[in-house]
Amino acid sequence: MANKPRALKRRHLVYYLEVYDDAANELLGHLVDLTTTGFKLVSKQRIPTNRNYRLRMMLPAGYFSQKDFYFEAKSLWSANDINPDFYDTGFATSKLELKTQNIIRDLVDRISFND
């Protein structure tokens, strides 16, 4: 299956925000980049692919009135990171509420690298 071109450019963030599997209440990994349609995590363990997750993302202090937010995403791929002690996993978000989309846009606007 050929990869289709990314519709939105992923933006790298200044902070590696923590993302938790809300059902298991376990840290899945740290956010590397994101858009309103997907994101990439780096983690110590390989994350199973083709699985739906209910996630909780911790927001950086001082930027938002809330400390975290919840959303759903599906893991699409997983591979070794440049550092062989870590794994990268790509996720697609699904049915994001407008409030969540706005938080993601604010994250990109406020704490992404200007690339």
pLDDT digits (tens, 9 = 90+) for 74-88: 999 999 999 999 999
Residue with tokens 């704490």: 111
Q: Which residues contact 21 (CB under 8 A, 6 or more apart)?
A: 27, 28, 53, 54, 55
In a domain, 37, yes or no: yes
- Its domain, for residue 98, covers 12-108
49 in Cβ contact with 75 (< 8 Å): yes
In a domain, 6, yes or no: no
Identify the pLDDT of residue 58: 86
In a domain, 31, yes or no: yes
**pTM attached to this predicted model:** 0.78
Q: How far is CA 73 from the centre of its chain?
A: 9
DSSP letter assigned to residue 78 = E
pLDDT of 102 above 70: yes
> Residue 16: which CATH number?
2.40.10.220
In a domain, 42, yes or no: yes
pLDDT of 115 above 70: no
Identify the pLDDT of residue 106: 82
